[in-house]
Amino acid sequence: MGKPTGFLEFDREESKAVKPLERIKNFNEFHKPLSLENQKKQAARCMDCGVPFCQNGKVLMGAVSGCPLNNLIPEWNDLLYCGQMDDAAHRLLLTNNFPEFTSRVCPALCEKACTCGLNGDPVSVKENENRIIEKAFENGVMKPRIPEVRSGKKVAVIGSGPSGLAAADQLNRRGHDVTVYERDDRAGGLLMYGIPNMKLEKWVIDRRVELMKEEGVNFVFNANVGKKIKADKLIAEYDAVILACGASNPRDIKAEGRDAKGIYFAVDFLKSTTKSLLDNDLAEGTYISAKDKNVVVIGGGDTGNDCVGTAVRHGCKSVTQIEMMPKLPDERAENNPWPQWPRVCKTDYGQEEAAAVFGIDPRIYETTVKEFIKNENGELSAVKTVKVKFETNPETGRREMVEVAGSEEVIPCELCLIAAGFLGSQSYVTSAFGVEIDGRTNVLTEKGDYATSVEKVFTAGDMHRGQSLVVWAIQEGRSVAKAVDKFLMGYTNLK
């Protein structure tokens, strides 16, 4: 521990964000990193506490506390403070294949469990992580690590999201020949097309994919397995197959007028913007545009916020974000103590930007859509909302949502984006491979295992556990790689 009194001497300092009215002029990342010297001071705040909850990754009261990857956070914080950047990168990469992704898009479960956060501000773990990995790329530490010996075993990974990439990375380092099949034209899955460029610039993904290619991983794009490519062919050709196709079924909203023109799933809206941005710099007519439209976003989570931020950048006329749950408290409640995940209201970048442009927070709570109103051409012109509350059904004992009589309201709307989450894997993939699924359409395995009901076929990521975080997807990818390696070799030394 390089600075035992660091947490007493230094206050938490974060990278500075470009002001909302300025950053909405483009789709670039908008945080200005601290100087290296100031970042070292932030690392010095790490207490190296006896029980580092930050790297625990356990479920407490229904939510994960600490990092699911069990990152060696106190160790690389100390190395960063001491200026041993290469060593810090080595320790970081022992547990996390892609720190450049998690340090940008992870909600920082580690920080919420940081001991410093019990009576003050937590250590800026996420930004420390980002500085370490970016310095490693800058210093030439991130060179191709090509296996000296190949096993002769072939593995197909279906899907190039974070779980598929992590599995491919691990198995390639073990010496297996890995081919990743991706149905889109670029690697990354939701990292590429589900997360906007201002949260994760796409050159970051391309940089990692190019490194993996140099290390020996093969990528096949525009390869829709289950439709364009037969599952039986892959099972016959490869020694093992990993299904890492994500939870790709968006949850719909069933309300009168749902067939109106102008209603899209959030993932389609976000993908169209990113693809157009990469292909032709947002040429008019090449993406679903919110320009000069009244926009309603259904869903109060991260994806809904991303839709708000994207719509604002398009130049929307107005934006409203609907959340059916009550607003969370601004401070921790007594029944939600540290180190539990803090169930508090968070104002994210998109909501900040909407407030800066329109002068009001875009969110309305305890509300749902009752009807989509169409004009004579079948185009969406407004949405009718209704307030809701949750009551206990005396017969079932379950909490149920009920409408509040007389609370209907009509909101002008020409573009509605449904960001209500995902339901599970897509049936054409699971049917093609013949794997069993559970009641939520996730691919079924034994608890704690990754082997499906079909010989040689494994699964990981959101397709296995349901919609989750990038950090969990990487953890799943690493775990399925261990299972596949043991299946192929009879033992495994993967971590």
Token digits for 20? 């909302």
Tell me the torsion sign for CA atoms 260, 266, 271, 277. positive
CATH number at residue 105: 1.10.1060.10
The answer on 414 and 434 residing in a single domain is no
Last residue of a domain, one of 356, 386, 418: 418
The answer on 172 and 109 residing in a single domain is no
Tell me the torsion sign for CA atoms 195, 201, 204, 210. positive
Q: What are phi and psi of 140, to 5 degrees?
A: 80, 15
Q: pLDDT band for position 63 (50/70/90)?
A: confident
The answer on 289 and 201 residing in a single domain is no
Number of folded domains in the chain? 3
The answer on 448 and 363 residing in a single domain is no
CB neighbours of residue 386 within 10 Å: 17
**Closest-CA residue to 215 (of 164, 177, 268):** 177
Structure confidence by residue, pLDDT tens digits, 226-260 = 999 999 999 999 999 999 999 988 999 999 999 99
Calculate helix-pair angle for 302-314, 266-280, nearest 10 degrees. 50
Q: What is the pLDDT of residue 1?
A: 61
Q: Are 104 and 302 in contact (CB under 8 A)?
A: no
The answer on 241 and 363 residing in a single domain is no
Last residue of a domain, one of 138, 172, 194: 138
CB neighbours of residue 420 within 10 Å: 21
The answer on 348 and 467 residing in a single domain is no
Q: State how far the Cα of 179 lies from the Cα of 182, in Å rounded to an integer.
A: 10
Expressed as residue numbers, the domain containing 312 is 263-418
CATH number at residue 273: 3.50.50.60
How far the first Cα of the chain sits from its last, in Å, is 25
Residue 380 neighbours by CB under 8 Å, 6+ apart: 257, 260, 261, 262, 263, 372, 373, 374, 413, 414, 415, 416
- Global confidence as pTM: 0.95
Q: What is the pLDDT of residue 396?
A: 87
Q: Are 403 and 255 in contact (CB under 8 A)?
A: no
Would you give the DSSP letter of residue 146? Answer: -
Q: pLDDT band for position 12 (50/70/90)?
A: very high
Q: Are 435 and 410 in contact (CB under 8 A)?
A: no
The answer on 444 and 330 residing in a single domain is no
Q: Is the pLDDT of residue 117 over 90?
A: yes
Please provide the average confidence, as pLDDT, over all residues in the chain: 96
Tokens 């975080």 belong to 469
Average pLDDT over residues 105-123: 95
Average pLDDT over residues 407-426: 95
Q: State how far the Cα of 66 lies from the Cα of 60, in Å rounded to an integer.
A: 10
